[in-house]
Amino acid sequence: MTDKTSSQLWTGRFTEATDAFVEAFTASEHYDRRLYRQDIRGSQAHARMLNRVGVLSDADTRAIVEGLDAIAGEIERGEFPWSPALEDVHMNIEARLTERIGDAGKRLHTGRSRNDQIATDVRLWLRETVEEAVVLLRRFQAGLVDLAEREAETVMPGFTHLQVAQPITFGHHMLAWYEMLVRDEGRFTDCGNRANVMPLGSAALAGTTFPIDRAQTCAELGFDAPSRNSLDAVSDRDFAIEFLSAAATAMTHLSRMAEELILWTSPMFDFIDLPDRYCTGSSIMPQKKNPDVAELVRGKTARVHGALHAMLTLMKGQPLAYNRDNQEDKEPLFDAADALLDSLRAFADMVPKLAVKREHTREAARRGFATATDLADYLVRRGVAFRDAHEIVGRAVRQGVDTGRDLAQMSLEELQQFSEAIEADVFEVLTLEGSVAARDHVGGTAPAQVHAQVAAARERLARE
């Protein structure tokens, strides 16, 4: 008989060693080792359950639990002897455990499979990742709320088609970003709740003949319930797809924010200034201050979108139950999570510290005929049909373009050339401050509404 690779734990059926290239090609320990804490926690819970049902002795259980604690210490100190020949995080830890404690280590895998083991590990990891994402989202939300309150009175142009549309307040704009993040938080929370189902006990695909107590391991590991179907439990990656979908949506929001920050720091806009510590310079142009953090967040969004597409494609052709294809789920999942958490941390730190150039934002709003709609509304309140008012204001704007003046800079006599309904009080609605203050309803841009929404947001953040 040909010698087998002694370090591998599944070689009983084989008559020759694994090809060296295949060994490297199939190994995943170089990236799934980051699951070591979850793997050890799941193994300890499994061992204690086996002890309770009479499968493991007290001595073996104690040796396993203490041995796994020691292995965790080795990994954290960088002393653990990871081996590609052992394929993955599970077999590396189990082999090291057996090396440390002898035959007791070989009994740990009773009643389980790597299929339900990895599904459990990833769900445990995902639960922690979702919790971290929610903490960062809420910290970012709180920072935006503070910024919104600080800039509740600051006038800026609101845009459609990137053209000046109507005056808004900077605080109102920040609260729009806040609303995006609230929805993101809800998606992650919902995803985390649905992922919190325990596959452990499903074994390879059909369950196990041992008298396991899934309720015990479920309670110890903090899952809401054990999975109801073993086939589904070991092959399901919906929870990863949902997480990546939520991450892709959140990164889309961050990318939109990044695009506006990049525009606003440009001299063409010059609306804001970012702290120097979040920017970089140029190796050749000494005047440059580049918003690299925002640009990288915009760029990392592509990676997260790609991870979602990769996961969907990975799963679309798989029959039940587990297939080795699923080894490919972790790298895009880990990469997307890292990009998401880093981006959230960067923006939660940076955005609330930006400085608004209030005179510049006000002047930009004044230049774009931003109060044209206010003039149309004024005419409607004077009895002019809206479509006629739209035409009247359009002619007034055309004259403003020709003469280089805003509507508020025209004389009463000039404005009355376009409609006899215009009277001296028209200038009350043509000021930028009057325009934003007039939109004083729920969801409006008025400073009073911004302050009310800030108070509601603070109450929500304190309550939840």
Query: Which pLDDT band holds residue 4 (cuts at 50, 70, 90)?
Result: very low
> What pLDDT is recorded for position 269?
97
Query: Which pLDDT band holds residue 236 (cuts at 50, 70, 90)?
Result: very high
Last residue of one domain, picked from the residues 302, 328, 359: 359
- Whether 148 and 297 share a structural domain: yes
State the average pLDDT over residues 118-143.
98
Answer yes or no: is 150 within a domain: yes
Count other C-beta atoms under 10 Å from residue 187's C-beta. 19
Count other C-beta atoms under 10 Å from residue 99's C-beta. 12
Last residue of one domain, picked from the residues 301, 336, 359: 359
Last residue of one domain, picked from the residues 309, 326, 359: 359
Q: Is the whole model's pTM more than 0.85, yes or no?
A: yes
The share of the chain scoring above pLDDT 90, in percent, equals 89
Question: Could you give the number of structural domains in the chain?
Answer: 3
Answer yes or no: is 84 within a domain: yes
**Torsion sign (Cα): 154, 155, 158, 163:** negative
Relative orientation angle of helices 89-101 and 58-76, to the nearest 10 degrees:
120
- Give yes or no for residue 9 having a pLDDT over 80: no
Answer yes or no: is 9 within a domain: no
Q: Are 211 and 115 in contact (CB under 8 A)?
A: no
- Give yes or no for residue 153 having a pLDDT over 70: yes
The per-residue pLDDT for range 417-432, each reduced to its tens digit, is 999 999 999 998 899 9
d(CA 224, CA 259) in angstroms, rounded, equals: 40
- Give yes or no for residue 119 having a pLDDT over 70: yes
Answer yes or no: is 160 within a domain: no
Lowest-confidence segment of 124-138, 205-219, 399-413 by average pLDDT? 399-413
Question: How far is the CA of 84 from the CAs of 32, 58, 113, 117, in angstroms?
Answer: 11, 33, 19, 19
> What pLDDT is recorded for position 262?
98
Answer yes or no: is 440 within a domain: yes
Q: Are 44 and 64 in contact (CB under 8 A)?
A: yes
State the average pLDDT over residues 219-236.
98
> What pLDDT is recorded for position 177?
98
Domain CATH number, residue 277: 1.20.200.10
- Give yes or no for residue 12 having a pLDDT over 90: no
- Whether 304 and 391 share a structural domain: no
The catalytic site residues sit at 161, 282
Answer yes or no: is 12 within a domain: no
Query: Which pLDDT band holds residue 313 (cuts at 50, 70, 90)?
Result: very high
Answer yes or no: is 139 within a domain: yes
- Whether 122 and 226 share a structural domain: yes
The per-residue pLDDT for range 252-286, each reduced to its tens digit, is 999 999 999 999 999 999 999 999 999 998 888 88
Domain CATH number, residue 418: 1.10.40.30
Is residue 451 classed exposed, middle or buried when 0-12, 13-18 and 19+ CB atoms within 10 A define those classes?
A: middle
d(CA 136, CA 339) in angstroms, rounded, equals: 13
State the average pLDDT over residues 367-385.
91
Query: Which pLDDT band holds residue 11 (cuts at 50, 70, 90)?
Result: low
SS3 call for 208: coil
d(CA 90, CA 88) in angstroms, rounded, equals: 6
- Whether 435 and 385 share a structural domain: yes
The share of the chain scoring above pLDDT 70, in percent, equals 97
- Whether 217 and 283 share a structural domain: yes
- Whether 372 and 426 share a structural domain: yes
d(CA 132, CA 128) in angstroms, rounded, equals: 6
| Residue of 111, 179, 196 whose CA lies nearest to 145 | 179
| Residue 123 neighbours by CB under 8 Å, 6+ apart | 195, 196, 197, 198, 199, 223, 239
- Whether 278 and 415 share a structural domain: no
- Whether 81 and 21 share a structural domain: yes
| Residue 284 neighbours by CB under 8 Å, 6+ apart | none
The per-residue pLDDT for range 30-67, each reduced to its tens digit, is 999 999 999 999 999 999 999 999 999 999 999 999 99
Q: What is the mean pLDDT of the chain?
A: 94
User: Domain of 250?
Assistant: 115-154+169-359
Q: Are 337 and 247 in contact (CB under 8 A)?
A: yes
Domain CATH number, residue 65: 1.10.275.10
d(CA 411, CA 179) in angstroms, rounded, equals: 41
> What pLDDT is recorded for position 7?
54
> What pLDDT is recorded for position 73?
98
- Whether 26 and 144 share a structural domain: no
- Whether 369 and 237 share a structural domain: no
State the average pLDDT over residues 235-258.
98
- Whether 317 and 349 share a structural domain: yes
- Give yes or no for residue 6 having a pLDDT over 50: no
| Residue of 297, 299, 427 whose CA lies nearest to 374 | 427
Asked if the bond preceding 408 is cis, omega within 30° of 0, the reply is no
Answer yes or no: is 282 within a domain: yes
- Whether 79 and 127 share a structural domain: no
> What pLDDT is recorded for position 20?
82
State the average pLDDT over residues 332-358.
98
